[in-house]
Structure 1
Amino acid sequence: MPAITASLVKELREKSGAGMMDCKKALTETDGDLDAAVDWLRTKGLATASKKSGRVAAEGLVAVSTNGTKGAIVEVNAETDFVGRNEDFQKLVSGIAEVAAEVGGDLDAIKAASFPGGSDTVEATLTNAIATIGENMNLRRAASVEVSNGVVSSYLHNAVTDGLGKIGILVALESEGDKDRLDVLGKQLAMHIAATSPESISVDDLDPELVEREKAVLSEQARESGKPEEIIEKMVQGRINKFYQEVVLLKQTFVVDGENTVEKAIELVAKEIGSPIKLTQMVRFAVGEGIEKEESDFAAEVAAAVGN
């Protein structure tokens, strides 16, 4: 058998578009025959999957998996919203969330782990799904949260089935109090976060650059009033406090009662259960957020397809 050289692997990658390890395996399986290796990759769906990898995947699903004091959330993207209704795709995303709950939020660790109920890794299972379903897919991000004593609660907005939706939230509450009452509060907080999309839990957690940019804008606006600098400083501080109320979770008005701040609502439940409550983590994933979607003229595409 000829030696499987780096240049041979590189040539196969260029011809097939498949990954390096897949190309190396294909060449090994075909005794270094380049054309046979291309066919081997095609039969496994690997070359096809790779060719789809350049297409924008901005749809898909978010999945959550919680188990008392631990929880994980993942976002898996596809090209069209239709795939989100595909039962095989739903099982794939749910399975990946289960893996994340076990191994944590590191993407490489998730991809290398065994997919539940199968012999393949998560990465191989995802590759096979691309070939089977016929769209580019991508495990875009994942996160896991854990508390030593308390609960991890979740909420899914626009849920398509149990544990799957378009917006997913995890909330971690540390407390020695009643776990059922904590979980009710956690779910309410998660629903609030889904609606308001706060930037941080507390003022201390807020990105300093974001605060400085806001102060700069507010200062310029205040100076246009022509007032003295000492008055401008007070105006800016007042507006910054209002800014905190808009973007900091604990400072926001709790959507559940419409009266108390989130911070005050947590304090009230803490009194109710007779134990302090600390909101330690929150994660909010919305499908496709931050992905630049390709704009297309659907009518033109249809016309081109029928030859007009």
Structure 2
Amino acid sequence: MFRLAQRPSAAARSLLSSAYSTASPQKIPLALVAELRKQTAVSISKAREALTHSNGSIPGALEWLQQDLVATGTAKAAKVSSRATNQGLVGVSVLSHGAGLNTVGGVRAAMIELNCETDFVGRNDLFAKLAMDVVHTAAYISEATDKGPHFASLSLEQLQEAPLLLHNDPSAAPTGTVSTAIRDTIVKVGENITLRRASAIVEDAPLAPKADSARRLGSYVHGALHGLSCGRVASLALLNICSPYLAKFLRDESARTQLGLLERSIARQIVGFDTLSIKNRAENMSEEQVLYTQPFITLAGEFNGLPVEEALKKWSVSNGLVGEGGIEVLDFLKWSVGETEQS
């Protein structure tokens, strides 16, 4: 049988406490410090402190760091909360592009703007991964509306309370919320971080898909960082394909490849111009602010330079989508970091 050791005297406990509190961080092997930093990205001094408190145990240090984040994170976030956040990233997540060879359709995507204080942090890998996790979560938790497919703003409060889903490991069990992930990152980078806006589009796959009509999504991120779908400017475009030959078109691998290039070209076009609408409105916009009247400069090949609307019609015919409709742009979303939001 195991017996509890006799409780040390008050003097002994004081001596032990003093010994632990004055333990030299230099006694912690550098290999342990490096391993802990590899797993957590904390500073060298914080890694040594955690390992000192856990007697050199990596699992114990991880637990101590988590408790330390909770204890100090809220205070740190409150301390920097008044600082302006004019830098950051726009993140894009597309979970379902729409109809394809082996899918009857349905689109699901989101866009968020995550802000920080400096461009240095905005380009940091830790910040970029946070942006991608947040936008992946936004795309996953969003629901279809009864107003038809369109980009709709998300409640920031609800999004921040949602369990954070990792974009590179969606099956992993959440360990915190979007809000706590932002708080923890504030502690790590030492800057204020704010979630400025979020929008999503969701249209579930129809129970009885139409044989001659389907939705598709195109996306583009300008200056994407770290191989992730986040940068200073980004766009999402909702397209509709309408043709009696749609099924044949989607079975053709070459046609699907060309469709993917077209979708990206449209999203790039939206970013490349001061695009405010798809078709002309009564506000007397210039031709370069109206997508359909812009010269299609991002589309390679024979239709390059034509007005976008004309190019889409000729592209549809050229790729076997003859008949009424062809490819049209139904809606789009374009955000730049720090811009004044448009109504």
Structure 1 stretch displaced more, 104-113 or 188-197 = 104-113
Structure 2 residue matching 1:111: 3-state secondary structure: helix
| 2:318 pairs with 1:272 | yes
Q: What's the CA shift for 1:273?
A: 3.0
Amino acid corresponding to residue 233 of structure 2 in structure 1: I
Structure 1 stretch displaced more, 161-170 or 176-185 = 176-185
Alignment partner for residue 132 of structure 2, among 94, 109, 120?
94
1:174·1:278 contact (CA, 8 Å) conserved in 2?
yes
Distance 1:246 1:53 in 2: 39
Alignment partner for residue 138 of structure 1, among 177, 188, 194?
194
CA shift in 2, pair 1:270/1:258, >3 Å: closer
Q: Deviations over 1:87-139 (max 9, x none)?
A: 22111101011111112351233212110243211112112211221111111
Amino acid corresponding to residue 109 of structure 1 in structure 2: Q
Distance 1:287 1:244 in 2: 24
- What is aligned with 2:257? 180
- What is aligned with 1:120? 176
1:75·1:142 contact (CA, 8 Å) conserved in 2?
yes
- What is aligned with 1:245? 287
Distance 1:108 1:62 in 2: 18
Moved over 3 A (4+): 176-180
Q: Note the 1:198-213 alignment, pairs <5 A.
A: 198-203=275-280, 206=281, 211=283
Which one has a larger percent helix, Structure 1 or Structure 2? 1
| 2:301 pairs with 1:259 | no
1:63·1:93 contact (CA, 8 Å) conserved in 2?
yes
Alignment partner for residue 156 of structure 1, among 213, 221, 240?
221
- What is aligned with 1:14? none
CA shift in 2, pair 1:42/1:185, >3 Å: closer
Distance 2:184 2:70 in 1: 11
> Aligned residue pairs: how many?
217
2:220·2:268 contact (CA, 8 Å) conserved in 1?
yes
2:123·2:225 contact (CA, 8 Å) conserved in 1?
yes
1:64·1:163 contact (CA, 8 Å) conserved in 2?
yes
2:114·2:131 contact (CA, 8 Å) conserved in 1?
yes
CA shift in 2, pair 1:273/1:112, >3 Å: farther
Q: What's the CA shift for 1:182?
A: 2.4
Distance 2:163 2:236 in 1: 24
Distance 2:314 2:161 in 1: 44
Structure 1 residue matching 2:329: 3-state secondary structure: strand
Structure 1 stretch displaced more, 190-199 or 248-257 = 248-257
Q: Deviations over 1:8-57 (max 9, x none)?
A: xxxxxxxxxxxxxxxxxxxxxxxxxxxxxxxx998231021022111110
Structure 2 residue matching 1:250: 3-state secondary structure: helix
Amino acid corresponding to residue 84 of structure 1 in structure 2: G
Amino acid corresponding to residue 315 of structure 2 in structure 1: V
Distance 1:142 1:273 in 2: 35
CA shift in 2, pair 1:127/1:92, >3 Å: same
Structure 1 stretch displaced more, 104-113 or 130-139 = 104-113
Q: Note the 1:29-40 alignment, pairs <5 A.
A: none
Alignment partner for residue 123 of structure 2, among 85, 89, 93?
85
Q: Deviations over 1:262-300 (max 9, x none)?
A: 111111222133332121111111111129xxxxxxxxx
- What is aligned with 1:222? none
What's the TM-score once normalised by structure 2's chain length? 0.59
2:88·2:118 contact (CA, 8 Å) conserved in 1?
yes
Once the two structures are aligned, what percentage of the paired residues are identical?
30
- What is aligned with 1:109? 158
For the aligned residue pairs, the C-alpha RMSD in angstroms reads: 2.2
Structure 2 residue matching 1:65: 3-state secondary structure: strand
Q: Which runs of 5+ in 2 are unaligned?
A: 1-67, 99-107, 143-152, 166-171, 206-213, 251-255
What's the TM-score once normalised by structure 1's chain length? 0.65
Distance 1:173 1:41 in 2: 44
Alignment partner for residue 76 of structure 1, among 99, 104, 114?
114
| 2:339 pairs with 1:289 | yes
Structure 2 residue matching 1:278: 3-state secondary structure: strand
